[in-house]
Amino acid sequence: MDLGLKNKIALVTGASSGIGAAVARLLAHEGADVVVAFGNDADGARRTAAAIEIAGRRAWLSRFDAADAAATASAIQAVGVETGGFDVVVVCAGRNIVTPLAEVTPEEWNAIIGVNLNGAFYTLRAVIPFLRDNAAIVTVASVAGSTGAPHHAHYAAAKAGVVNLTKSAARALAPRVRVNCVAPGIALTPMGRETVASLAPDYARTRLALQRYAEPEEIARCIVFLASPASSFVTGATLDVNGGREMR
């Protein structure tokens, strides 16, 4: 199936590893050029960029702290001018810390909200002047945003906010731009493996209908579909990709 992404320009945050890196690689295989946006993992970002170039597409590196409004705006403006604008934006930068609710400090709470929710808002606000007609934005939330999580309440709260930020952006930017959200379950990314380590050994078998955790590429395929013209009549939606952890 041709997703209609050939020669499109995409910006992917959190693209140095995990789901973001998988999205960036898949976009390149679908024919898009990709801005690899990242925070701290420069080596991972370079590996993602190399994979994009092996696929025959162009890659740009853009480093900024998504939790810093000024840094996000400055970096996105620079790369937006360089690329001439974006057809696709995937907001995937995220951070989680596994901490029981009673032990979460205000500093930890603010750090997790800062990256996952504030960072999503700062990114959306910064890309608006550079969105081309018929552009698509996909945010990445989490199943925890609808179920809650006793061991990472701050992350769950932030991701619930991302879902509703997505709906607000979809209304604000329609009809010129579509905005959707993917809410993954646990994927076997570096961050996801930390979550898995905090769960009972039989969690996947007993709590997930598919009885396993996701590979990053399985989440990425859903994100790229929503980012593509193949989903041209979808906006303001949240796609649950959680292996049957929750069925709404």
Closest CA to 39 of 109, 106, 95, 103: 95
Within 8 A by CB and 6+ apart from 202, the residues are none
Count CB-CB contacts under 10 A for residue 133.
9
Which helix (H) or strand (E) covers residue 35, if one does? strand 33-38
Closest CA to 3 of 23, 32, 24: 32
**Is 203 part of the annotated catalytic residue set?**
no
Count CB-CB contacts under 10 A for residue 140.
27
**Separation between Cα atoms, residue 200 and residue 224, nearest integer Å:** 32
Within 8 A by CB and 6+ apart from 70, the residues are none
The answer to whether the CB of 231 falls within 8 A of the CB of 225 is: yes
List, by residue number, the catalytic residues. Answer: 155
